[in-house]
Amino acid sequence: MSVSAIPQISLPFLMGNSLNAWSDALAGLTISWFPLGLVIIAAIPLVFIALYALTYGVYGERKISAFMQDRLGPMEVGKWGILQTLADILKLLQKEDIVPASADKFLFVVGPGILFVGSFLAFAVLPFSPAFIGASLNVGLFYAIGIVAIEVVGILAAGWGSNNKWSLYGAVRSVAQIVSYEIPASIALLCGAMMAGTLDMQQINLHQSGPYGFAHFYLFQSPIAWLPFLIYFIASLAETNRAPFDIPEAESELVAGYFTEYTGMKFAVIFLAEYGSMFMVSAILAIVFLGGWNSPLPNLGALALYDWTSGPVWGAFWIISKGFFFIFVQMWLRWTLPRLRVDQLMYLCWKVLTPFAFIAFVLTAIWEIYVP
């Protein structure tokens, strides 16, 4: 990193701004036998998910949806309804924890847990900053695509365990949808991996750094990169069960889909998992196609905007902003489009996205081989 005009904030024991400096220093932090640093590394994304779901996820979505529909949204709890989410959480905590009499107790209880763990596991390979990544795997991207499939198990456990026709319908739809859309999503991400030549998340980010800011992002590096970018974005909506692909929860036909029978904190955990995977797919999209923690601002002569806005703390700012921007687009789409029918959903996946993903894959390969 070059000299930055704005001094970087570094924790006293985490000196140095080199790649993965903070997480490496944390990993070495142990109190006698207890690996405190590893626990902190795991806790940071967890706290992040909770805080972001609390503020932007719930309150932000309610406000954004309200503004798009010419409403005001929550206004009563605190000024502009800022404390609405806290009130919601208090309500959820006080609710009776009901397990239906005819439910499969074990699957019913374990379902939301698996769901949340599935979405949280992918946070291990998200580089939150040049100096921080949970696990710097050399197969990071592959791991992120693969581990999300655990969510399917959680959804199926929740839907089957509820012993309710709506839950089961929702679960079956969700599984069919997630398994199908993983194909175009993975092929689209492979295009990014081909351009980087690596599956390591930090390396993919490093390949996109440069003094011209956004011009180094893979989206602008190749004339066909917008295609896998769009395909992955659409497929990621389906993978996170967001509108217009929210047929697993389809509130007008299935009540709430696979979490119809859930109340209280189990319901909250399912929602936390949904918001967790929303950020996760947005961050992957930002990392593979939009430079992750790289600043989009270019150096313009004496105005060294890129150098001024680069560094570990700025990196965290950029990747979180990019993630939040795509979450905003997800919300924006949710309040624009009606829900797809099941056959339309499968048509879109198998007959549109998958062939186009293959075309994008071949074209990217040709571009990477023949264009220097």
Which residues contribute to the site for another protein (CB under 8 A)?
A: 64, 66-72, 75, 332-333, 335-337, 351-352
The minimum distance between CB 333 and another protein, in angstroms, equals 7
Checking phi first, is residue 32 left (phi over 0); if not, alpha (psi -120 to 50) or beta? left
With CA atoms as reference, report the closest residue to 249 among 117, 150, 159: 159
The minimum distance between CB 233 and another protein, in angstroms, equals 12
Cβ closer to another protein: 40 or 83?
83
Cβ closer to another protein: 70 or 96?
70
The minimum distance between CB 150 and another protein, in angstroms, equals 31
The minimum distance between CB 76 and another protein, in angstroms, equals 9
Cβ closer to another protein: 71 or 341?
71
**Residue 127: beta bridge partners?**
133
Cα 288 from Cα 115, distance rounded (Å): 24
The residue behind tokens 């979450």 is 327
Cα 316 from Cα 17, distance rounded (Å): 13
The minimum distance between CB 69 and another protein, in angstroms, equals 7
Chain centroid to Cα 298, Å, comes to 26
Cβ closer to another protein: 199 or 340?
340
| Residues whose CB falls within 8 Å of the CB of residue 43, separated by 6 or more in sequence, listed in order | none
The minimum distance between CB 188 and another protein, in angstroms, equals 16
Cβ closer to another protein: 105 or 351?
351
The radius of gyration of the chain's CA atoms, rounded to the nearest angstrom, is 21
Helix (H) or strand (E) holding 41, with range, is helix 36-52
Chain centroid to Cα 105, Å, comes to 30
Cβ closer to another protein: 165 or 351?
351
Chain centroid to Cα 191, Å, comes to 19
Cβ closer to another protein: 64 or 297?
64
Cα 110 from Cα 250, distance rounded (Å): 23
With CA atoms as reference, report the closest residue to 328 among 67, 70, 124, 39: 67
| Residues whose CB falls within 8 Å of the CB of residue 181, separated by 6 or more in sequence, listed in order | 235, 238, 239, 245, 349, 353
